[in-house]
Structure formats: C-alpha cells, structure tokens
C-alpha cells in the first residue's frame, strides 16, 4: 500500500508543476529606441540622407554596436535570406516610407548580405505599386504574396475561430458551396522563403485589429483567412498574440522598426489623408509588444486631440501578448532611449 501511494504521488507531481512552467515569465523591462526627424517635413516629404542616419542610429542603439555593419551583424549573417516586411495598404498616404526601407536594406548589405538575398514584401502587388517601391526593385527583390505562389498548401496556423473563405484564400473552392468555412489560415509563401525578418510596419489605426503595428502587421498580412483572427468584438484578442508566437511568423522577426513618420489615426488601414500627421518619428526594438504599446499610446493621443474615441478600450491583444511572454506591455516598464 505504501509503495502504491508513493507511485501515485510521483505520478501527480510529474504533471502538476509542468503546467505552471509552460507560461513564461514576462520580461521585466524593454528598451525602445527613438529617432526624431530634426524639423518640419514639407509636404510630408523627408530627406533620405536624414532618414538613413536615423535608421542607422536606431539599429546601432538596439544592437549596442558603434558602427552600422557590426550592428546589423548582431541580427543577421551574410548567408541569411532576409525579408523586409512593410506596410503598403495605406499607400501612397500612410505606407512604410521608401527611404526607411532603403536605409535598412543598405545596412544589411554593409553587414555582408548580398542584395539578391534581400526580399521586400507585403500582401498585395497593387499596394506595393501605389507605395512607389519601384526603385527598390532595381537593386533588391520586391514581391507580393498575391503574385508569387500565394499561400502554402501545407503550412498553416489554426485558431479556435471559424472564418468564411473567400477568393484568394488557399482552401477556397470556386466551384464549391456558397458558404465555405475553415479554422485554418495558410502562411504566405514569401514569409516561408526567408529565415530572418526585419519588420517595418507603418503606424495606423486598423478597422479589424484596432491598430496596425508589430503583431498585426506580421500576422494579418501573412496568412489567408485572416478576417476570423481580427474582428469585432474581440479585435484580435488573443489570436494575434497566439499567432505571432508561432516560430514561422513572429519567431523570424529579429528587429521591428515602427514607421511613425506620418501616422494615420483614423480610417486605417486604408489611405485617409485627412487623418495623417507629420509626426516624424521612428521607433526600434527587439520587443514587438513594447513597440505596439507605444504605438497605441501615440494613436490614442492623436485621436483624443481629434475628438475621436481612444483605441485602447477595445485592444486587448497587447496585454495577452505580454501574458504569454512575447514582450512588455506596461508603459512604466518600457524605457524610451533617444538616439537621433
């Protein structure tokens, strides 16, 4: 009897503590580096040379290195296939600024990454075209998910939310039933081609997730059947955090640079020029949750000044991301470090 009791105790102990250890402790603090444009941007245009210095300062700060080549080598190696994920749906009004993309790409080249190993991408080709990224395509590869193989047949994420399939989704059958649903979201073939990602989201509000930033930009733009993951009343909570935690999605991101040069605080993610401000700031961090927490704070400020309701009352996925150990959401534990 004593032996059976001992075995039962061992059996129970083997399972109870393990569940407690599955949830990682959230980081204690996050560093976010800030570069601000020195002066008013005329007509929403920023000098490319100044933007290059801003980006270089951010990367050197985040890497704690004295020169840009050494800084980028902290994040990538010459034999990496590096993707630069941008936000183009707000083009040409509030998309990722081309000079920021160029500065990142040139820094990668300085670190030894060949231009042909650098891929700049977003979901739709028409958005990339409107964003005027054509010049970048002469030196680097500029592609869109909808132009190159779409979404992978075998690689997908699942979530406890059903979504109605539409044309463009991998599993949609044009000859099938009128109502087709799925709990799967297939992953962009472009994302699967790269092993490191520099994510440069443009700061805007977002009809489905509340805001565009580090988590929504990587998740919603890189899977099909994405509408189920971000919609009222949950607006992406907790699905954005859970999907970003997938090593095939957020696990590839080594640095996030938030483009807040011309943030759009209403009408997003589509272009609405009347809600765009020449804010002139770039933020960079290894912590995507801290980036989104600061981005949300900015958008709420702009919306309050414009007489609009704040977004933080409906966005819960930032706190969920902290809860599963993706980064820091609490503002008092985020240190903003000016570098330019």
* Beta pairing partners, 164: 181
68-75 vs 98-110: helix axis angle to the nearest 10?
90
The CATH classification number of 34-155+186-338 equals 3.40.50
Average pLDDT of every residue of the chain: 91
User: How much is the pLDDT for 246?
Assistant: 98
pLDDT in tens, 224-245: 999 999 999 999 999 999 999 9
Q: Cα torsion at 256, 262, 265, 267 (round to 10°)? A: -100
Of the candidates 293, 289, 291, the residue with the CA atom closest to the CA atom of residue 331: 293
CA distance 335 to 322: 16
Of the candidates 72, 32, 47, the residue with the CA atom closest to the CA atom of residue 198: 72
User: How much is the pLDDT for 169?
Assistant: 85
**Radius of gyration for the alpha carbons in the chain, expressed in angstroms and rounded:** 21
pLDDT in tens, 36-51: 999 877 777 899 999 9
Q: Cα torsion at 136, 139, 145, 151 (round to 10°)? A: -160
Q: Which residues of the chain have pLDDT under 70?
A: 1-27
Write down the residue that tokens 């004295």 correspond to: 66
Q: What is the pTM of this model?
A: 0.90
How is the chain split into domains, by residue range? 34-155+186-338
CA distance 329 to 322: 6
User: How much is the pLDDT for 20?
Assistant: 38
User: How much is the pLDDT for 24?
Assistant: 58
User: How much is the pLDDT for 40?
Assistant: 77
User: How much is the pLDDT for 25?
Assistant: 61
Q: Residues near 31 by Cβ (< 8 Å), separated by ≥ 6?
A: 62, 285, 287, 334, 335, 337
Ordered DSSP codes for 154-179: EEEEEEEEEEE--TTSTT--TTS-SS
Q: What is the DSSP letter of 131?
A: T
Q: What is the DSSP letter of 276?
A: B
* Beta pairing partners, 86: 200
User: How much is the pLDDT for 5?
Assistant: 39
């Amino acid at each position: 009897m004593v032996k059976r009791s001992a075995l039962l105790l061992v059996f129970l102990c083997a399972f109870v503590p393990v569940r407690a250890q599955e949830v990682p402790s959230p980081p204690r603090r996050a560093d976010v580096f800030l570069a601000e444009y020195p002066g008013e941007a005329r007509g929403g245009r920023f000098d490319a040379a100044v933007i290059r210095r801003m980006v270089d300062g951010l990367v050197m700060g985040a890497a704690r290195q004295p020169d840009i080549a050494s800084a980028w080598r902290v994040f990538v190696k010459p034999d990496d296939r590096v993707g630069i994920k941008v936000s183009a749906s707000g083009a040409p009004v509030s998309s990722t600024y081309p000079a920021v993309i160029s500065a990142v790409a040139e820094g990668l080249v300085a670190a030894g990454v060949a231009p042909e190993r650098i891929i700049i991408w977003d979901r739709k080709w028409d958005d990339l075209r409107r964003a005027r990224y054509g010049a970048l395509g002469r030196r680097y590869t500029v592609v869109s998910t909808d132009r190159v193989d779409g979404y992978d047949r075998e690689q997908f994420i699942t979530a406890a939310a059903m979504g109605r399939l539409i044309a463009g989704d991998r599993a949609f059958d044009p000859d099938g039933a009128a109502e087709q649903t799925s709990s799967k979201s297939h992953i962009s073939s472009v994302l699967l081609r790269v092993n490191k990602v520099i994510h440069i989201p443009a700061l805007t509000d977002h009809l489905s997730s509340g805001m565009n930033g580090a988590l929504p930009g990587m998740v919603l733009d890189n899977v099909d059947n994405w509408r189920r993951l971000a919609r009222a009343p949950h607006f992406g909570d907790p699905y954005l955090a859970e999907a970003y935690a997938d090593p095939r999605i957020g696990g590839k991101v080594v640095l996030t640079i938030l483009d807040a040069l011309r943030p759009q605080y209403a009408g997003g993610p589509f272009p609405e020029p009347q809600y765009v401000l020449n804010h002139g700031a770039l933020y960079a961090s290894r912590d995507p949750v801290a980036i989104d927490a600061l981005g949300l704070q900015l958008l709420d400020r702009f919306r309050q000044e414009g007489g609009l309701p704040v977004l933080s009352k409906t966005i819960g996925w930032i706190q969920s991301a902290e809860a599963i150990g993706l980064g820091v959401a609490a503002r008092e534990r985020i240190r903003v470090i000016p570098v330019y």
